[in-house]
Amino acid sequence: MLGFNKMNKAATHTTRALAALSLAVLTGCGGSATETDVTTTEVSAPASNWVMVWEDDFSGESIDTSKWNYEINCAGGGNNEKQCYTDSSDNAYIADGVLNIVALPASEGAEKPYTSARLNTRYKADFTYGRFEVRAKLPSGQGSWPAFWMMPTDEVYGSWPKSGEIDVLEAVNLKVPTDEGVESNIHGTLHYGRDWPDNASSGKAYEFPQDENPADDFHTYAIEWQEGEIRWYVDDYLYATQRRSEVLYNSKNEAVGLKHRGWFAEYFEQGSGELVTHWDNAPYDQDFYMILNLAVGGDWPENVNQTGIDASAFAEGQKFEIDYVRVYECASNPDTGKGCETIRPGYDDPADALVEGKAPVPTPPSTGINPLTIFADQFNPNWPAWDCCGGSTPSLVPVEGKGNVVEFVVGSAPTVNGFTSRSECITDPEGEASPYDASGMLDNGFVRFDMRVTSAPANPDATWMFKIESFDAGSAVELNLSASAEGEAPVVGQWQTYTFPIQALADAGLDVSAIDVVMIFPAWGTGEGAVYQVDNVEINAEYPQLDLFTDGQNVDWPMWDCCGGSTPIEVMDDEAHGLVAEFAIGATPTVMGFNTRSDAGGSGKPFDATAIVEGGVMQFDMKVTSMPNTPDAPWLLKLESSGGATAAEVDLTTSAEGHAPQAGEWQTYTFPLTDLASAGLDLSAIDVVMVFPAWGSGEGAVYRIDNAKIYYPENDGLTLFKDAAAEQWSIWDCCGGSEPAVVTDDQAHGAVAEFTIGATPTVMGFLADENVSFDASGLLSEGVVQFEMKITSNAGNPDAQWLFKIESLGAATAVELPLSASQEGAEPVVGEWQTYTFTLQHLLNAGLDVSAINVVMVFPSWGMGEGAVYRIDNAVIANP
């Protein structure tokens, strides 16, 4: 009742089912989903184990104040309602065994235009769990709002809505004309979660048939509330179920999602004082009391149906008539309320009665690969090059074939050199201290750099060192460069690469969660005379990959027939595929695929795909050589993890390609890991991958699989223009009204894009179609935006500056730079093709979100470009 302002109650809530994804775990070897055991109960009366423990049948002459409290106020219920609640017998009285709550026009000059009544049982009838039931006839008219609801007796988890609210029955504007007839909905709702205005609510409506109306006759409305679940009923028909959230944990016992999204609670932990989200029974595990009231107007009724309040509907009073209120306790288990469920098939089905709540999804642990480029062609303002103690300034110098590199010089004063992200060393106003957390990259991460010594230290015994620190030197590791993965000492005049695994650094004592200094130097006090150059300094990781079958099976993941008794074989196919896996299904129902479990002949080595959940895929090629005897048998992909603890099963037609298998054709199927995770698969311990016709329908099928793998596809980049604009991109004039053209240039360039600027100020370039963007995150370590440009006619204004601008997220982020800020640093020359290169890391550092690029522009300064004609070719966002 309190929290309508955040809930849409105007229409029946329909929960969206997962159309193509099912969470069926392999049972034995059959592969069939376990059916929920739903006990069908006769619902004409509560189940026999419900025992009535409280009742008011309103058989007395007056309201029993040993059971009910009057609320007296004009506060508006928190919803801008238009009544004052009173204890007047005009507004609440008993007649003929019925409690009447009546909303009436107030006297002239009253604080609110209407009066009514609100009764509650706080501290007189308070309960945790049970069946709460009212038999009532509801009022009608635009602006009417009757309710039977419950609030927490003691706000254990905080003020509304943190301690919860249960709306057993609400209705607004009954019998008011609608497009379908008249308003006949009642509503059951929960309110919970965070403080207003971030509060949450979830519920469902029940619509009476048009020949019935809750304002025409008495009906029974109830909830059954047990530990972790609440169910709503109209005349004993179960129409809604809400549950606590069920958290999905991975094999490392880390919360990674929700199996069921239900209610939640957020409150401060005693002791620590920390604000914590709880996906458990709270807040619906404490005593609640009951409330009966009739409101007039308010945010909900006044904004739906015919809106406002129909004064004529209340002129003679509107009655909320209550025959009785009853509370039952579950005798089977009063402490939990379980064992007395009045249920029907579909009560726990999201496509039927089960309501999806508003609980926040737990944030998975940081396991993804988020590379850090400390230096590549230019300084990172968050990680400047640094001379600790020698007084020199590391410099940027150009090197053929490498672009810009950092050069360090060691003088007579002992020192160490490198890169730091500590605030006291950052001088660039755009920079900020940014310690790097590599804890999610222990398995496959590394620190890597290229180095060339141009002048060796004067001391021939000088040892070259690598040192890395974290938490302001709270932990550190120092190693000889020859301890790198390459195992080489520096050779003067030669570029060499050095790689140090993150796991090795952690094993040596480094806390990898806040790396803030990386140093490369001759041993302290022995480096005088050394001059050396460093490039491509990064903290990165190799993406994990599982190859199930490519020209032969993975011995750790053998081919497998679950239950049919066959032995899958390797056979030669066409030249493109070579050796492939072949599966054949006989009369016995089975599923087939690849299995690493030891009881299936595998090595017992599950695959952890959590590092590639964003962007990673499950992909394979398949050719059906003989279709199943059942012509309409659906083909399925199923993955399991942790010994079958979690699974996801999808139809092959839900792949990125979207096609069904065709006999005799090799076809590729790709499934994003995010979809499989959303279906409930724990990606941290995948141990079975299956491809098969649906259980029991596969007899006669013979099919081949090749190139089966779970991996992170390399980002090949985006060609914005080469002979033509990229698909879903266009050459574009923002504001000048011209139509950029494709014209033929010299033999080397062929078709190019030509832009012409007239008198109207404009910018020009390449624009993505609506809802299209390019994610360059995977190119960040080395990627660039690069294009060639030739001016055929310069702008009439000689002061016009040529600019490059790139935007993302619908212009939510953007970077604009002069072309002279490119790696080439050249100003345009009329009649000459020139190349311009901007690194993605530079653009990211300048404020661009590189994950959703949708505009790339090249133009003379705004309002100064009239007369300019220029051509662009070979425009790409890619690795060089």
Q: What pLDDT, in 10s, does the model give residues 46-102?
A: 557 999 999 999 999 999 999 999 999 999 999 999 999 999 999 999 999 999 999
So what's the pLDDT on residue 16? 24
Q: Is 60 exceeded by the pLDDT of residue 273?
A: yes
Between residues 611 and 483, which one has the greater pLDDT? 483
Find out whether 250 and 611 touch, Cβ atoms under 8 Å: no
Per-residue pLDDT averaged across 748-771, rounded?
A: 94
Per-residue pLDDT averaged across 489-500, rounded?
A: 96
Most confident region among 176-180, 196-200, 434-438, 578-582 by mean pLDDT: 578-582
Q: Is 80 exceeded by the pLDDT of residue 114?
A: yes
Candidates 81, 133, 170, 807; catalytic one: 170
Q: Is 80 exceeded by the pLDDT of residue 373?
A: yes
- CB < 8 Å & 24+ apart, contacts of 460-465: 461/526, 462/522, 462/523, 462/526, 462/527, 462/530, 463/522, 463/523, 463/526, 464/489, 464/490, 464/520, 464/521, 464/522, 464/523, 465/519, 465/520, 465/521, 465/522, 465/523
From residue 560, how far is each of 285, 564, 568, 708 by CA, in Å? 48, 10, 6, 14
Find out whether 541 and 446 touch, Cβ atoms under 8 Å: yes
So what's the pLDDT on residue 522? 97
Between residues 40 and 833, which one has the greater pLDDT? 833
Is 170 a residue of the active site? yes
6-15, 439-448, 796-805, 845-854, range with the lowest pLDDT: 6-15
What pairing do the DSSP bridges indicate for beta strands 83-85 and 114-116? parallel
Is 165 a residue of the active site? yes
20-24, 81-85, 106-110, range with the lowest pLDDT: 20-24
2 confidence band (pLDDT: 50, 70, 90): low
6 confidence band (pLDDT: 50, 70, 90): very low
779 confidence band (pLDDT: 50, 70, 90): confident
So what's the pLDDT on residue 24? 30
Q: Is 90 exceeded by the pLDDT of residue 44?
A: no
Q: Is 70 exceeded by the pLDDT of residue 35?
A: no
Between residues 401 and 355, which one has the greater pLDDT? 355
So what's the pLDDT on residue 37? 32
Between CA 114 and CA 413 the distance in angstroms is 88
So what's the pLDDT on residue 45? 47
Report pTM.
0.54
Q: Residue 774's beta-bridge partner residues?
A: 853
Per-residue pLDDT averaged across 653-666, rounded?
A: 92
Q: Is 80 exceeded by the pLDDT of residue 140?
A: yes
Residue 171 in 3-state DSSP? Answer: coil
For 305-320, write each residue's pLDDT tens digit.
999 999 999 999 999 9
Q: Is 80 exceeded by the pLDDT of residue 781?
A: no
846: burial class by Cβ within 10 Å (0-12, 13-18, 19+)? Answer: middle
37-51, 396-410, 815-829, 864-878, range with the lowest pLDDT: 37-51
Q: How much is the mean pLDDT over the chain?
A: 90
Per-residue pLDDT averaged across 870-875, rounded?
A: 96
Q: Is 50 exceeded by the pLDDT of residue 142?
A: yes
Q: Residue 449's beta-bridge partner residues?
A: 498
22 confidence band (pLDDT: 50, 70, 90): very low
- Residue 600 is classified by DSSP as G
What domains are there in the chain, each with its CATH number?
4-12+50-243+282-330 (2.60.120.200), 372-541 (2.60.120.430), 546-711 (2.60.120.430), 718-878 (2.60.120.430)
Q: Which residue has the tokens 């440009």?
A: 789
- Spell out the residues 6+ positions from residue 500 whose beta carbon is closer than 8 angstroms to its own: 446, 447, 448, 466, 468, 479, 483, 484, 485
42 confidence band (pLDDT: 50, 70, 90): very low
Q: Tell me phi and psi for residue 647, to 5 degrees.
A: -160, 160
Between residues 33 and 63, which one has the greater pLDDT? 63
So what's the pLDDT on residue 847? 86
Element (H, E) at 311: helix 311-314
So what's the pLDDT on residue 47? 54
So what's the pLDDT on residue 444? 83
What is the share, in percent, of the chain residues with pLDDT greater than 90? 79
CB burial readout 359-387, b (16+ within 10 A) else e: beebebeebbbbbbbbbbbbbbbbbbbbb
Q: Residue 257's beta-bridge partner residues?
A: 248
So what's the pLDDT on residue 778? 67
So what's the pLDDT on residue 440? 77
Q: Is 70 exceeded by the pLDDT of residue 36?
A: no
Nearest to 465 by CA among 488, 481, 447, 482: 481
Per-residue pLDDT averaged across 1-25, rounded?
A: 33
What would the two tokens of residue 616 be?
């990673």
256 confidence band (pLDDT: 50, 70, 90): confident
For 336-347, write each residue's pLDDT tens digit.
999 999 999 999
Distance of CA 697 to the CA centre of its chain: 36
Find out whether 560 and 649 touch, Cβ atoms under 8 Å: no
Candidates 35, 61, 108, 165; catalytic one: 165
368 confidence band (pLDDT: 50, 70, 90): low
- What is the gyration radius of the CA atoms in the chain, in angstroms? 35
So what's the pLDDT on residue 1? 67
Per-residue pLDDT averaged across 239-251, rounded?
A: 89
User: How many CB atoms are closer than 10 A to CB 308?
Assistant: 12
451 confidence band (pLDDT: 50, 70, 90): very high
Per-residue pLDDT averaged across 174-186, rounded?
A: 94
399-413, 602-616, 635-649, range with the lowest pLDDT: 602-616
